Amino acid sequence: MTFRHLSKLPKNFKFITDGYSTYPLAAMEFAKRFKDNFKFSITQVIGFSNDDEVSKEFRPYKQMIERLNRTCKASYRPTNGFDNYDGTNYDLALWVAYYNFLRPHKHNNYQVLNKVDMLNRADNMPDKWQLLIFLGQQTILNLQAEGPNCS
């Protein structure tokens, strides 16, 4: 899903992962299915310490993703799961919107990651959510107006 809107990978694309065996299999599948446009190598950062040059160079990237995963899991646990994929998808979409547009981040001087001017005019979090949902609806309508290739 990450690559669905790309016709080919960016020139200096790097894929950094932990030691999970699915990632090399996915890379092989992309190369088989899409040929050179989606051929990429994987850098695996394994373990908890920087015992080799690869770990020393790439561990910070792995740690950022692991932190994101822990933050997402912390908000998921109180839900006790979902009955279907739609519930899961809605929850994840709302969480990503919150994380990217509403949540202040310590590493960003307690600012949101993506500033939206319209949200700055809102007085409280419910107002910000309403504006964010409105902007999302407008984006969907604009994409639908562009033609049938909208998903």
What tens digit of pLDDT does each residue of 26-75 get? 888 888 888 888 888 888 888 778 888 888 888 888 888 788 888 888 87
Alpha-carbon distances of 62 from 43, 87, 91, rounded to whole Å: 10, 28, 24
Range of the domain at 10: 1-81
The answer to whether the pTM exceeds 0.95 is: no
Per-residue pLDDT for 77 more than 70? no
Give the domain-ending residue among 40, 56, 81: 81
Judgement on whether residues 1 and 65 belong to the same structural domain of the protein: yes
List phi, psi (to 5°) of 27: -60, -40
Report pLDDT for 1: 66
Judgement on whether residues 77 and 88 belong to the same structural domain of the protein: no
Judgement on whether residues 125 and 56 belong to the same structural domain of the protein: no
Report pLDDT for 112: 92
Contacts 24+ apart (CB under 8 A), 55-58: 58/16
Judgement on whether residues 40 and 62 belong to the same structural domain of the protein: yes
Judgement on whether residues 61 and 114 belong to the same structural domain of the protein: no
**Confidence grade of residue 149 (pLDDT, cut at 50, 70, 90):** low
Judgement on whether residues 39 and 110 belong to the same structural domain of the protein: no
Judgement on whether residues 96 and 134 belong to the same structural domain of the protein: yes
Judgement on whether residues 18 and 77 belong to the same structural domain of the protein: yes
Judgement on whether residues 69 and 125 belong to the same structural domain of the protein: no
Report pLDDT for 38: 82
pLDDT in tens, 78-125: 666 777 788 788 888 888 899 899 999 888 899 999 999 999 889 999
